[in-house]
Structure 1
Amino acid sequence: MTDVTPFSTQVRERTATDHSSSEGADFMADLMRGRGTREDYAALTAQHFFIYEALEAAADAQANDPVAGAFVFESLRRLPSLERDLEFLLGDGWREQIAPLPTTVNYVARINEVGPSWAGGLIAHHYTRYLGDLSGGQYIARLMKRQFELDERGIEFYAFPEIEDAAAFKDAYRALLDGLELDDAERERVIEEIVRAYAYNTELFVDLTAAKAAAAA
C-alpha cells in the first residue's frame, strides 16, 4: 500500500460530513434542545433495540474470526441494557409495544447481510455505533437524564460500567483499526460501509419524525 495515513484517520476524515449530518437530523436536534418528549426518547430507544439485536448477533457470529473477533468486546454489549431501559420507559409489555420503522428494517437487513460473514462489514457497523455511544452518546445521556428527570434507569444504554477510561478504550479501538491488514480496495469498501451506516442513522431520524407526526394527526 502506498497510503501511509492511519486507517482510523482515513475513516474520520472521509466520514466527517456524514457524521455531522446524522447528528443534525431534526428529530435528534429537537430531542437534544429540549423540544422532544419522553415518548420521543422511548421511540428512539426502541429502534436501537432492533439495531443492536442484529449487530450483537453478528458480533457473536464473528467472535472467533481472526480479524473481526478482535473488535468483539463483552464490555460493549448493549442489548441487556436496552431491554432494561425499555422496561423502565414502557413497562412490562414493552416488546408488544415496539416495531421497527422502515429504515430500521433496512438497517437490520444490511447488518444481517454483511455482519456475520464479512469482517469488514461487521467492523464498519460496529465502529459506527459503539464509538458513537462512547463519545456523543455520553452527552445525550446527561441531557436525557436532566430533561426527563431520570436516575440511572432509562439511560443504561449509554452506561459502560466495565470501561473505566472511555478515551483510552477509544484510542485502543482506533489502534485496532490501524492494525488491520487491508489493501486499498478493502479499506475503501469498509469506509463506504461506514458511510452507509451513517446514512441509515440519518434516515432513521427522518422516520422517527414522520412517525411522531402521524401519531399526532
Structure 2
Amino acid sequence: MTVLDNAPAAPLSVAMREGSQAQHSAAESSTFISDLMGGRINEAGYVNYLRSLRAVYAALEETGRALAADPLVSRLHDPVLDRLSAIDADLAAWSTGAEAEQACEGRAAVEYAERIRWTLDHPVRYVAHHYTRYLGDLSGGQAIGRILDRDFARDGHGLALYRFESIPKIKTYKDVYRARLDGLDLAPAQQAEAVAEVQQAFSHNQSVFAELATHLDRFAR
C-alpha cells in the first residue's frame, strides 16, 4: 500500500469542480455563449436561450421538491434558489412576439430536463445538477447578468434570473453551500457518481448551446 492509497478523498465541492473542468470549459467556450458574452446575440437569441433554460429549471425544481425530504438533497434544497418564476418574468420582459423568438426547437433542453427527472431515483446525481445550475447562477451567471444589463441598457429590467433578492451576500451563501456539500456523508462510489453527473450536466449544457448556435444567423446582433 502506498501513501497515496491512504490519502483522504478531496472534498466533494473540489472533486466536482476539478473533475468537470474539461466539460465546463467546453460549455463556457461554446460559440453561443462566447457571442452572448461578447454582445453579439440579439434579443431574439436571448429569448431562445431563456426558453431552453425554462425547460431545464422546470425539471430541476419539480424534481427538487419531490426529493426535498431526502437525507442528501434536504441539506441543499432551498426555495430561495428557485429560478422558474424569474425566467417567466424575464421572458415576458424580453419577448416581442417576433418569429425568431421561436427559432430553436429546444430538443437539447428537453433531453437535459429528462436527465434531471431521471435523478428522482438517484438523489446523489440530483445533487450534481443542483450544484451545477445554482452555483453557476450565483457565480458566472452574475457576470452574464451584468453584461446583458450593460449591452442592452436594461437598467435591471428583465434580469430577474440573475437576482437573488433573498440572499443578501452571495459569497457567504456560496461558502455555506459548499460547506454543506462537503458535509454530505458520501461513500467513495457515491462521490464518483456525483462527479460523473456534473460532467453529464455540463455536456448537456454544451448540447443546448450547440443547438442555439445553429441559429446564429438569426441571432446576430
TM-score by length of 2: 0.89
Cα displacement string for residues 143-182 of structure 1 (whole angstroms, at most 9, x for unaligned residues): 0011111122211001000111111111111111111111
How many corresponding residue pairs?
Answer: 214
Aligned counterpart in structure 1 of residue 95 of structure 2, from 66, 81, 90: 90
SS of 1:128 mapped into structure 2:
helix
Show the 5 A alignment for 1:52-201.
Answer: 52-90=57-95, 100-114=105-119, 116-201=120-205
Superposed displacement of residue 3, structure 1: 2.8
The 2-side partners of 1:37 and 1:215 are apart by: 5
Pairing 1:35–2:47 present = no
SS of 1:191 mapped into structure 2:
helix
Q: 1:54 to 1:132 in 2, by over 3 A?
A: same
- Quote the residue 1:9 is aligned against: 14
Cα displacement string for residues 100-159 of structure 1 (whole angstroms, at most 9, x for unaligned residues): 512111101111111x23211211101000000000100100100111111222110010
The 8 Å contact of residues 26 and 206 in structure 1, kept in 2 or not, is answered as yes
Partner letter of residue 106 of structure 1? E
The 1-side partners of 2:181 and 2:61 are apart by: 19
SS of 1:85 mapped into structure 2:
helix
Aligned counterpart in structure 1 of residue 53 of structure 2, from 30, 48, 55: 48
Q: 1:113 to 1:33 in 2, by over 3 A?
A: same
Partner letter of residue 20 of structure 2? T
Provide the identity percentage.
35
Superposed displacement of residue 2, structure 1: 5.5
The 8 Å contact of residues 34 and 147 in structure 1, kept in 2 or not, is answered as yes
The 2-side partners of 1:60 and 1:88 are apart by: 27
Superposed displacement of residue 46, structure 1: 1.0
TM-score by length of 1: 0.91
Partner letter of residue 63 of structure 1? A
Q: 1:99 to 1:29 in 2, by over 3 A?
A: closer
Q: 1:208 to 1:97 in 2, by over 3 A?
A: closer
The 8 Å contact of residues 83 and 161 in structure 2, kept in 1 or not, is answered as yes
Superposed displacement of residue 213, structure 1: 4.0
Partner letter of residue 195 of structure 2? I
The 1-side partners of 2:10 and 2:144 are apart by: 31
Coordinate RMSD, CA, aligned = 2.3
Q: Which runs of 5+ in 2 are unaligned?
A: 1-5
The 8 Å contact of residues 62 and 117 in structure 1, kept in 2 or not, is answered as no
Q: 1:12 to 1:215 in 2, by over 3 A?
A: closer
The 8 Å contact of residues 50 and 100 in structure 1, kept in 2 or not, is answered as no
Single out whichever of 198-207 and 64-73 deviates more from structure 2: 64-73
Q: 1:179 to 1:215 in 2, by over 3 A?
A: closer
